[in-house]
Copies of this chain bind each other. A is one copy, B any other.
């Protein structure tokens, strides 16, 4: 994003006016469209609000923009003189479609991080750059950059990657499958999207964990699904809740993240897993098993996935490289019965013609390489180290004010704030103080919970981040 040049002799407000005039003339802001508020633009550009006020008044004087009190600042459409010319009402188009916008808290977090990259980031659910196998990826890219095919690929995904996954899934997750049962997607996210769009119909009832990553996704509501909650206790969801939801609401699918659940970190207990599978097979109910975190298990091997003991094909299994290697690679996968894979591959061809072959071939090389296991070992040790830094800091700074379970894998710590506090107030106070987190309500929980991601921040920033958070908390509860 363009920023004014503080070393230029041209005044800041003039530079801003010039830039806006250019953007308006290029069509970024067509005639009649709303400009950012003075406050927002000042924040984006990192200048005082008064500078933007000056820039806007300059443009107003030139007749390029107009302000009406109460309705903000707009690009003039009077310029067009006598012949009536109408810009499409883009704002109304942008409100079209069934697709709901992202949650306000998530938009706020994205905005705050874009505006101030120095924030200590406990909000983004991903690995820090130095936990990703960047060296390894770069070496692989250099070694084997002999891609010979660059055409439209099989919409089901690049063959060699599906082959690599057959081996990977058997070795690391105890899942026996075949190339033809695997669909490659843009992260787990696109697998979830395809399931909600193409296997379910508007009005269908589905069960999701409470709290759950799924609540952070308007995708479920956009697909017109009715969501019912399966409360997560320290041993996961209760299978009997599924039976009663089925009786009451005829739920048609269950979404579950059994290992190191996002956000709670919970691992579902063994006997509940068998009961869940029993209930599903009794009711003919499909289970979507979202399993991005298992291979981060810090100290003992992660529980086997439901899919590995699913004898009758009730489970759609979803995995991803995002949380164990690199989220920017956008490589995820689904293991599913033939009829499902075919349907989803066909639909996704319409949406995006399939994933780029470049990251797919890189992912295949990485999974097949001798780098993979050592990378995982290093990753697990680093996550454990960061988790302990976070826990120490929380205990030191916030002793009796927080409650949490210690996660044994994953990227997140789920934290109850004991004193009563307003999520929004706490978030703003934290941002003010230079630290950011994800409010629990994003995941469907009541106010007063916080998800701290310890994977993303630098280790050395974790203690000071929590001390900034503690200050913000004290400010927000008083």
A177 at interface, CB cutoff 8 A = yes
Q: A445 to B252, alpha carbons, bound, how many Å?
A: 40
> Given A148-B134, A150-B137, A359-B359: A23 and B178 within 8 A (CB)?
yes
Query: Does B178 lie within 8 Å of A152, measured CB to CB?
Result: no
Q: In the assembly, how many copies of this chain are there?
A: 2
In the assembly, what is the distance between CA of A2 and CA of B88, in Å?
53
Q: Is there an interface contact between B126 and A193, defined as CB atoms closer than 8 Å?
A: no
Q: How far is the CB of A451 from chain B (nearest CB, A)?
A: 16
A331 at interface, CB cutoff 8 A: yes
A129 within 8 Å of B (CB atoms): yes
How many residues of A are counted as interface, with CB atoms below 8 angstroms from the partner's CB atoms? Answer: 120
Does residue A464 face the partner (Cβ distance < 8 Å to B)? no
Q: Is the CB of B2 within 8 A of A198?
A: no
Residue in B91, B201, B338 whose CB lies within 8 Å of A33 = B338
B127 touches A151 (CB 8 A): yes
Is A211 in the interface zone, CB < 8 Å from B?
Answer: no
Report the separation of the CA atoms of residues A151 and B322 in the bound assembly, to the nearest whole angstrom: 8
Stretch of A139-147, A427-435, A468-476 on the interface side: A139-147
Would B351 and A193 count as touching, CB distance under 8 A?
yes
CA distance A91 to B343 in the complex (A): 9
Establish whether residues B193 and A352, one from each chain, have CB atoms under 8 Å apart when the complex forms: yes
Given known A-B contacts A328-B152, A337-B30, A190 and B126 have beta carbons under 8 A apart: no
Cα of A142 to Cα of B284 in the assembled complex, Å: 51
Q: Let me know if A96 and B204 touch, CB within 8 A.
A: yes
Inter-chain contact B23/A180, CB cutoff 8 Å: yes
Interface of chain A residues 331 through 370 with chain B (CB within 8 A) = 331, 335, 337-340, 342-343, 346-347, 349-359, 362
B-chain residues with CB within 8 Å of residue A190 when the two chains form the complex: 351-353
Q: Which A residues contact B (CB, under 8 angstroms)?
A: 1-2, 22-23, 25-31, 33-34, 80, 84-91, 93-94, 96-99, 101-102, 107, 114, 124, 126-127, 129, 132, 134, 137-138, 141-142, 145-154, 176-181, 185-187, 189-190, 193, 197-202, 204, 217-219, 222-223, 252-253, 280-286, 307, 310, 312-315, 322, 325-331, 335, 337-340, 342-343, 346-347, 349-359, 362
Q: List 30 A-B contacts (CB under 8 A).
A: A2-B179, A25-B176, A27-B312, A28-B178, A30-B314, A33-B338, A33-B339, A85-B281, A85-B312, A88-B314, A93-B252, A97-B200, A98-B201, A132-B150, A141-B145, A142-B142, A145-B145, A150-B327, A151-B328, A186-B351, A187-B353, A189-B350, A189-B351, A189-B352, A190-B352, A327-B353, A329-B357, A330-B352, A330-B356, A356-B359
